[in-house]
Each structure stands twice: as structure tokens, then as C-alpha cells.
Structure 1
């Protein structure tokens, strides 16, 4: 993705079994808007999502009114700073639209459609990778763009940079990924290590601050 998006993702109460076969809902965007699909095959913390970025000439209030009409009742409406957020449960899905003003008077709308049934099934989903002990997984983002599959894990734990590097390197070695030379260090507080192998590539960034290490691990692989 070209940008980092802050998404407000809430999940609805259990949907009836008849909703299991529901198609993904479509959202009508403003006329003449620029619509960019961020991902048709994205998972955030195990939850399938479809993300769309929209640039419209409408000012924020008009854009919010458009989406409120497009969603239909009932719609939850909240405002955080300059951003307006609309949210709606629709069968087995949950829809959010975040609308933010742009400096030139236009608006940017970020829509997320999440499969709320899959959200319940994803609770307790394993990371699929052996993490250092006492790690807390903050985020698990997966996406497929053509034949390139990516997964990014963000975690924190109390261990040193070296311990994290050793433990995560061992986990990656079990997947056939080996270090590309020595790690790059930025003082005593940050390390970066690249990996590659027949299974693909990986990038690991470790930052230690106030007795806590934050690790960002990005895995890349080619799909058939």
C-alpha cells in the first residue's frame, strides 16, 4: 500500500445462519469520484476485509451525507477531530466509512467492509510463526496483490534486541529463510535484518525503548 491508513473497525453481533451465503455488499460512491481498491484479498488480525480509497470533489459534510444516504438506516455516526466515521451492520458484514477533508477542499473517504462472522472465528487465531516468549501480537495484516502475498506482524515483548533477533531468525529458518548478511544497527536501540530463501523474503525491524522491544516482521512470498 502507498499509505498507512487508520481504520475504525467494529464488529456486529452474530448474524443469522442464513447470512452465511450473503455476497459482499457494494457501496455507491459519489459521482465522478476517483475510486481506488486498496485490497480485495486483505486480512487484518485474521478477518477478511475489502478496503477502498475514494477521492471526491465534495466537501466533508456533503460526502458524509452521500454515504449516509448510500448506506441507508440505521447508521452510526461519530466524529474524531476532522474525521467523520459512519458505521453500519449489514447481515454478516460490518461497514465503516471514514471521511477526512483534504487541503484543497476535496474529501478522502476510506471504506472498509469486514466479514463479522469470520471475525468471531478469528478469535485466538495462531500467528503461524513461533514468536519469542511473552510476546504480545499487536497487529497481523495479510494481503495478496496479484501473485505477491505479504504478511506483516507487529509485536512487543520485554526481551533484548539480540534475543528477539535470535528467536525470530530461528523461526524464519524453519521456513527456509536465512539472513542476508549481518544485521544493520542504528546505535544500541534499533536493528534491521533481511532474510531470503526458497520460501520468499522477509524484513525484520527491531526497536527497543523504555524496556520494551517492538518488532515489525514483513513476510513476502510468490503465489502460484
Structure 2
């Protein structure tokens, strides 16, 4: 895997905290993330509790990571509980979770807890990199298989889409594609502040609490294909 950078991104690499209770998994993920110049593995943790302690120490030195990549199923404090606490204590840190088909309830709980990306544990290296980059930009990344599962079960008023303005619908589609507010602003030729207003309007009208939930609804309602 060759070094790659994201056009237009700052020179500083995206700092990542890896959280998994299997050392071999952490080593594997670190190995292929090290092949990208725009991503830096800042630290590792073997449990949710260790991750929270590490984040507290990093925050004290002004060195919080940009993204936490965390396994949902771990001994002790699992990824679900850790995700909610990370988002609450460190709102600037984005959380991408690793899951499997057998962790349906945990996926929903992590979604409610504020996770902004969902990957299957057998995700390709390029998918993990894409999810980390999207999270760092403030966007959303949903593994297509996870998205299909979530679209079958997430609760949101089916008629709510009719209340969205044309601009709100356009913003919703771009959110579901993983675009950040700035990228949406550039594409729609509006200000980033206006984008925030549109996204807030989408969440309010659909009775949702996060961009990730909005992305799931967009997929469920056929506003874009589940597969890329």
C-alpha cells in the first residue's frame, strides 16, 4: 500500500486511536494504516476503559486524536458504552465502530451513542481508510451491509421526507454520501452556515438526533443506493 494523501486536507495527519482487545487485530490495522501519509496511529487501547483513560491523558496535553476506531464487542467496558462516553466527554473526537452481523443491538446502541461510522470486521483496508477520512471531515461512513441492516429497523416517520425542502433533501443526500458540511456547501454553492441550518432542519423534521441516523434514513428511503 503506497503513501496517499487527501487533496485539500491540512498537512497534519489524521490522528487515530485504535481500540480492540486483540493485540493481533491492533497490529494488523496499524500495519496498513501506516501505509498512508495522511493517517497517524496516535495510540492503542485494549479496552473501553483503557481508551477513556488514554483520551483523558491526551486531552490534558491538548493531544486528542481526531478519530477513534473501536471494536463493539470487548471484555470489560465494551465499545457501545465507551462510544457514548467518548462522544459525551470529548465531542470533537469522532468514533468509527467495527461490528459484525451478529451485533445488531450493539450497532443500534452505538448509533444512538453518537458513532459516525460503521464497518464490518472484515472490511478492506481501503474501506477503513475511507471511514477514518470521512469521520475526520465530519462526514458519515456506513458499510453497505450495515446500512442495509439498519435501514430495515431504524425508526423514523416515513412521511417526514415530504416536509423537507428541496435544499434539505439535497443536503440529506450528500450527508448520506459522507460529505462534510464544507463539501456540501461547495457542491450546493451555499455557505457552510446555511448547510448547518439545512442539516438541523432535516434532523428536526425527521425526529432524528445525528447525521448518521439521517444517512440511514436516506438509504432506506431510496434516496441513493445502499452500495457505492
Alignment TM-score > 0.5, same fold: no
Q: Which has the larger radius of gyration?
A: 1
TM-score, with length taken from structure 2:
0.24
TM-score, with length taken from structure 1:
0.24
Q: Which has the larger strand fraction?
A: 1
Q: Which has the larger helix fraction?
A: 2
